[in-house]
Structure 1
Amino acid sequence: MAKRGKGMFSNIAVGAILLLLVVALAGFGAGGFGGQIRTIGSVGDTEISIDRYSRALQQELRTLEAQTGQRFTFAQMQSFGLDQAVLQQVVATVALENEADRLGLSVGDEAVRREVLRVPAFQGLSGEFDRESYEFALRQNGQTIAEFETTIRAETARTLLQGAVVAGIETPAEFTDTLYAYARESRDFTYVMFGPEDLTTPLPAPDDAALKAFYADNPEMFTLPERRRVTYAWVTPTMMADMVEIDEKALRALYDERIDEFVQPERRLVERLVFGTQEDAEAALARLNDGAVSFDDLVTERGLKPADIDLGDLSRAQLGSAADAVFALDEPGVAGPADTDLGPALFRVNAILAAQEVTYEEARDDLLIEFADGAARREVQAQIDPVDDLLAGGATLEQVAQDTPLELGEVLLSDASEEPIAGYLAFRTAATAAAIGDFPEVTDLDDGGIFALRLDEIVPPTLQPFDEVKVQVIQGWEDAETAKALTAQAEALKTAVEGGEGMFAGTVAPETHTDALRDTFIEDTPEALVTTVFDMEPGEARVIEDETGAVLVRLDAVTAPDIESSEAVTIRAGFATQTAQSYAQDMVDAFTIAIQGQAGIEMNQTAINAVHAQFP
């Protein structure tokens, strides 16, 4: 974050460019609100102008569109909560400016002049600062020179304050060294797996006394959980499918309605990289043609990711004014610069998709399935009101099933229930929440079906009779006795190893694993194996019990990482930088919250709503 703080000063130029792009906001400001409302609130003695908040909202909209390639309405922005996020950011920024002003932090005219001269939008054809371009750009944005330079001065002072807050922040070397040593420390160990096939002595056949003792000691293994006896009436689109009449004209109309899916013009799989000016776009293309950079390099330079510029496959009509440039390519490559709604852009064509046509006859079978499903869903939905009326009139589910297409059923609901309706989450949720005596209500299923249910009985957990579960008791006894015997074999080998014998003293061949890290996964071993060896001392042996057997493991060596290796230095440096940035951001956030509370925040919701109302 320390680096980030130093970079904030240079980001003023970027902010100015974005500021100048918002020409659509010319109607905002004092004039847009009848000259009566000029601020949306204040932090301490510093007011938050309507123009400032409006520009921040518009910039957020433009950022969304640049990243997604889609138009966003203000309503969509609000649905994501982004208007609140923008407002919070503006308030935080103003709080820092207010604190800088309170402390008397400021910069001279020379610093402001340097920042103004660095803005490309203020430069003429010669590349030098052009006063007329400067004044024109500000007029287009509804700002005066004094207002803009005041903004530059305030942002510079705020940057100085933030830099002072985070100055000197770094991650302690002890912290990075300790974490790196912990994460990269490795273990060498030898282990022996004892499975059912490794029993040295076969298990004896159990008698009834042993089985009944096991049954009595482990009742939870043979107890049925609480179950609910439920009567229900239901119908789904699949159940109504046979009642649907196929209308050939309707199928043809469905095909015509969705003709864009079946008849597609030639398209291009494209990515779009937007630039601030035509000159910037042409300069980027020149660097690309000279081989100085790749298209991916240009994307990275703009601080974007591939997903931010991907437009998918577009037709000539969808590309608008850029269509001629993009479709002029006969093979994948880069086209442009071409004008777009967001500014001049370069387009990378990744593939050329030929025109496609699926005839009605070819699409009919799929359309038939969709049509039948849609019609059946409508038939099901048409039953909701009649069923509601019957239930409201006191009809039972049995009577509903007689008078409507709904089918009657009963289920003893548990995790083991195999009835089709038990597979629906909505049904299980309703049955679990129901109480005896509740009035049945029509509820939707996720496949378009409907149901109503009645809870008839709650069956408490029930221990199944021994004779009914004897087969399961035998299996459970054998599993437990096998695990016990294998654990005993592992313990015997452990005793031998501790007595000086090697891991090869047993009947099962050992396996060795070297350089295991804490997140190492070893297939077909207990999950606790690796975590256990990291809790052991060299030479120590332990037995780990498993559901099907046991494992004897001996820790052979602990290897500390070389924290001075080139890999370690790189990883530690990256972690230290990342952590320092996190510390710095936390400090700035905490500082900002503190000065907001100290200075006091006043907001005018009416003014905020008025700003929102200006957006389409």
Structure 2
Amino acid sequence: MLDSLRKSSRSWVAKALLLLLLVSFAVWGVSGQILSGGTGDAVVTAGETKVSGLDYRLAYDRQLAIYSRQLGERITREQARLFGIDRQVLGQMVAGAVLDEQSREMNLGLSKDRLATLVAEDEAFQGVNGQFSRENFRQVLRNVGMTEDGYIKSREEVAVRQQVIEAVADGIAVPATMLEAIAQHTGETRDVQYVTVGEQAIEPVTAPDDATLKSYFEENKERYRAPEYRTINYVRLTPAEIVEDVTIDDDQLRADYEARKSRYATAETRTIEQLVFADEASATAARQRILAGESFEDAVAEAGRTMEDVSLGTLEKSDLPDQAVAEAAFAIESAGGISEIIDGAFGPILLRVTEINPASVQRFEDVRDEIRRELALVEANDTLLDIHDAYEDARAGGQTMEEAASSQRLTMETIRMTDAEGRNESGAPITSIEEQAELIAAAFEAETGLENPPINAGQTGFVWYEVEDITPERDRSFEEVRDRVTADWIAEETDRQVREVAEAYAERFVAGEELAEIAEAEGLSLQSKFGLQRTADDADFGNRGVAEVFDGGPEHSGVSAAPTGTAYNVFKVTGITQPLGGPEALTPQMRENLAAALSDDLLDQMVAKLQTVYPVGVDQRAIERALATQ
């Protein structure tokens, strides 16, 4: 087992994974419902260093959250096992333990002031003002089932461990020879000629006889296996669920309207045009001509401007930065009027207002419903915890979920026959509540007929749930999935035949026939690409096809699957261009990645060595207990 752990510890992408514990509760998203005792046994020991079940469970759920974010959906415990998350976390725990043991033997430590600073800087413990909040600190630790002393001890261990990591891996310089080689490797480009062979190269594939389909079904039976389905009852409690039950009288509504009347007011706006002159004499003359009957448009043209030049737009008084201009514009009595000459920053100004939109205030009757809902939501927030407690008391008193919900004017809803990924028996996505992914994931960890701690709904709400029924996974019969089997067989057979044709063309090319001759004989289009980069995700080749193009020398040829559809590219390399630049051609990000990779490699080697120095023990039963704790 320890050999496999050493291997898993070498799969880290970044040294930050070595920090493992308590870097930020906010990032982990760990809920208190999963940790309530039973996690104190040591799951890993290294010399005198011990890793508790709680530490393992926190790291496990952190990794679970990372995978869930990457996949865009909450993954189940079984999926996590298939991904190897339990083994990854155990490998990380062993690595952390041997680093901590070395730190202990080296007598490394941390001052109380530095430790206090680290705790205060954790965003998970900060209040709305961005400062450390002791109340938040206690609440977060309570949610994850950890004592203050336990957190402080673990945070100190992490900080000390980081000292070892930084001493070994920080400041690593990538050798110039390596940079040169990588620059040459990554900067190389290739030109290719190719033909694309698609479904048109074969006769349409039709369904085979039942014997063939049944044989195919038996060979791929696992693919058609029905997953476990669960029927889930749930009750959602958020301010929105109870807002209609809140009574707000007219006096409250009217008082709120009067107190916030400015919120419902719309300021006066005016559409303004501004003509700037070189001197006051020109401005005065233009104004006199307009008053005598000349149009403002003519005055603008005589000044050598367009109407677009002089338009300021439709503005509120406060939108105008020049106070004198603002006062003059809003002093004009009617649309079409002009102002007096204004002394502007860039010369005398003449204004015209073409449209006036008077200020207005929405009537109380028009916003009454909006005010009522806002006030009701505030009151609903205030009473939500009382309803939560009353519901919990009703369940504790023996009422069913439906009875307890009804007593609080809530509604029990049901999700029928969902798999762990939120799909029904037909494979279609189920749509219920915002928290559906979290609800289904939690329900697939629960037992039938048992009460479960609620999951969070929004910022202040709750969702209670219970599993009504479990339909175990099973093998589907051939008749149940005949259509799927037929479609899959046709797709695979089509792909096989197209690939065979493409490979036959490739063999003809290797035998001496030119690709252009093959294209002409088979009615295909000969295409070319120039400057194909090694790291490109080309639209016609895809990243795998590009890798095939670079998987050989100057005379390389081959067949690669097209990234979309049922098609294959038969290609030959027609040119290779080496980069002109050296290491300077590498981007700063590439250099950082190389340095990080070297740092990780050093850490891997160090951890592997430490695992041979300190006796490492793993208690598999303690791990199982930690994961089983709810």
* TM-score, length-scaled by structure 2: 0.46
